[in-house]
Amino acid sequence: MSDNKKRLAVFCSGTGSNFRALFHAIIERELPAEIVLCLSNRSQCGAVDFAREYGIETMLLSEKQFKTQGDFARAMLRALREHRIDLILLAGYLRKIPDEVIAAYPDKIVNIHPSLLPQFGGHGMYGMRVHEAVIASGENRSGATVHFVNEEYDKGRIIMQNHVPVLAGDTPETLAERVLRCEHRLYSDALEKLLTGES
Ligand code: GRF
């Protein structure tokens, strides 16, 4: 039975709340998938703690461990092949995926971004910077986007989006909390769509 399940790798660098949401969605929605690897560039973070608690294999992989970017890319590819990964989910992963890996997994690497792309995306737009920019722009809507990863930051084909209001008096922190709650639902819905063609 488990043969029909897609083998997922989740890449994380931080708290891991999207990782947790995806993990629980797979169980609650009985999705045909299993998270078999949590890859992180940090040896200690909330995402890695969660993976250990739930018996998901963790792997530390950082550019710092390698002499060249090519060596780093090859190590990442080896890890993905050894674990027979079908789909890679970036969940708060703050490193660029090497081009060799993107080429080897076309339309198999997915990211979530805390804005309504193409607005407020691109190099350097991550974390609180995104929410600061949204508030400074005076937009009355923000949201989150799940998209495929290509060679350019936040430019891959959009899979799903959802929006939240920007309220009078919002700070970057209050907006970030609202967007993050939206992300958890959206990422789970997008995964369901990718796995089943529905959502
Ligand atoms: C999220 O806002 C996600 O969109 C961004 O980084 C944050 C990660 O949060 N890429 P978490 O680690 O999933 O809690």
Name which residue sits closest to atom 7 of ligand 1, judged by CA: 92
The number of the ligand 1 atom at minimal distance from the alpha carbon of 13 is: 12
**Ligand 1 atom nearest 46 alpha carbon:** 12
User: Are 13 and 91 within 8 A, CB to CB?
Assistant: no
For residue 186 and ligand 1, the question of a CB distance below 6 A is answered with no
| Amino acid present at 22 | L
pLDDT tens digits for 87-110?
A: 999 999 999 999 999 999 999 999
Q: Which two tokens stand for residue 125?
A: 């737009």
Cβ atoms of residues 56 and 2 within 8 Å? no
Mean pLDDT taken over the chain: 96
How much is the pLDDT for 80? 98
State the closest ligand 1 atom to the C-alpha of 47, by its place in the atom list counted from 1. Answer: 12
Pocket test for ligand 1, best of 10, 112, 123 (most atoms within 8 A of CB): 112
Residues with active-site annotation: 113
- Taking the whole predicted model, whether its pTM rises above 0.85 is answered as yes
Tokens of 168: 């009078």
- CB 183 less than 6 A from any atom of ligand 1: yes
Beta carbon of 145 within 6 Å of any ligand 1 atom = no
Q: Are strands 109-113 and 141-148 parallel, antiparallel or unpaired?
A: antiparallel
Atom 14 of ligand 1, nearest CA residue? 17
To the nearest 10°, report the CA torsion of 18, 189, 128, 136. Answer: -170
70-83: per-residue pLDDT in tens?
999 999 999 999 99
Q: Which residue has the least CA distance to atom 3 on ligand 1?
A: 92
For ligand 1, is residue 14 a contact (CB within 6 Å)? yes
Decide: 121 in ligand 1 pocket, CB within 6 A.
no
Asked whether the predicted pLDDT for residue 199 surpasses 80, the reply is no
Tokens for 191?
Answer: 């995964």
